[in-house]
């Protein structure tokens, strides 16, 4: 079976997109397809696969499969990339509504060049700070919004937040690549988090700028994590470590986070999206 795909990224967080709004002639094992095509040596190479689905009353629905085949509720960079894909093809306007596993979200194209979207601002919804929101069954005597974690022989404080998917953020000196590779998988699979969790290191530069590195649940180290950057900015503001707006430097670029400081108010994330290439793959299921 020949499958058409497009590759897009937001700050280097790259995904393969497949349009499945028209029926495909055979049932596909999407988790296995995501695993095979995401492999950077034996496949096309990406952090995951996103399907573009029909959603009556909305511009589209996105389903996100990580590179290990697991499904994610939400991806901020993937959502901006999908908004660009729709806008560039004239299938949606500047203001869009897209159904995700975290509910309906509203990207807006805020800058374009010759009909091509360059910068997209996304209403990410309201952050949630409870242990229950990130999948903790029992806090075991810990604070309701943070916990102590044994990391390389130290007890470090991690703060959690849900942006429609779960995040654990550690503030302090930025972890290097080797530290992230070692610490990320251990914390992702920590016993507290029954659905696993995304792990982030955040270093504050000044009152309006910080740097982050990411270990994404199901994908490993990525160049950017939109929901993670949003969550990190919101937590820094909530803890009075920073003031809004917050510019987040990630290995693949820069994202802007805006939030009023009120728990029920939405978080906005602005950043670029770019289409890399378009192609076809012959899928021969085992």
Q: Which residues are catalytic?
A: 75, 225
**Element at 106 (helix H, strand E):** strand 103-113
- From first CA to last CA, the distance across the chain in angstroms is 12
Close Cβ partners of 72 (under 8 Å, ≥ 6 residues apart): 48, 64, 65, 66, 101, 165, 217, 218
Question: Cα-flanking dihedrals φ and ψ of residue 52, to 5°?
Answer: -100, 110
Q: How far apart are CA 77 and CA 222, in angstroms?
A: 11
Pairing of strands 198-206, 166-171: parallel
Q: How far apart are CA 54 and CA 62, in angstroms?
A: 9
Contact 210, 203 (CB under 8 A): yes
Cα angle vertex 182, ends 177, 188, to 5°? 110
Q: How far apart are CA 102 and CA 96, in angstroms?
A: 16
């Amino acid at each position: 079976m020949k499958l058409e795909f497009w590759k897009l990224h937001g700050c280097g967080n790259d995904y393969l997109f497949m349009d499945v709004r028209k029926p495909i002639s055979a049932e596909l094992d999407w988790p296995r397809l995501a695993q095979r095509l995401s492999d950077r040596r034996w496949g096309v190479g990406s952090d995951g696969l996103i399907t573009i689905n029909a959603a009556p009353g909305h511009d589209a629905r996105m389903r996100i499969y990580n590179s290990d085949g697991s499904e994610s509720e939400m991806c901020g960079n993937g959502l901006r990339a999908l908004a660009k894909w729709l806008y560039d093809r004239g299938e949606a306007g500047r203001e869009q509504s897209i159904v995700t596993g975290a509910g309906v979200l509203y990207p807006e194209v805020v800058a374009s060049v010759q009909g091509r979207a360059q910068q997209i601002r996304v209403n990410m919804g309201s952050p949630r700070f409870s242990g229950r929101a990130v999948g903790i069954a029992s806090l075991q005597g810990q604070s309701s919004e943070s916990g102590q974690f044994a990391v390389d022989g130290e007890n470090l404080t991690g703060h959690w937040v849900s942006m429609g998917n779960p995040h654990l953020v550690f503030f302090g000196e930025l972890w290097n690549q080797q530290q992230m590779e070692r610490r990320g998988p251990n914390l992702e699979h920590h016993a507290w988090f029954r659905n696993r969790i995304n792990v982030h290191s955040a270093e504050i530069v000044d009152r309006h700028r910080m740097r982050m590195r990411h270990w994404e649940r199901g994908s490993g180290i990525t160049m950017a994590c939109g929901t993670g950057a949003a969550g990190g900015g919101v937590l820094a503001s909530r803890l009075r470590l920073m003031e809004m707006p917050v510019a987040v430097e990630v290995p693949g670029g820069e994202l802007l986070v805006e939030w009023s400081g009120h728990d029920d108010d939405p978080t906005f994330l602005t950043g670029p999206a770019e289409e890399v290439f378009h192609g076809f793959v012959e899928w021969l299921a085992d």
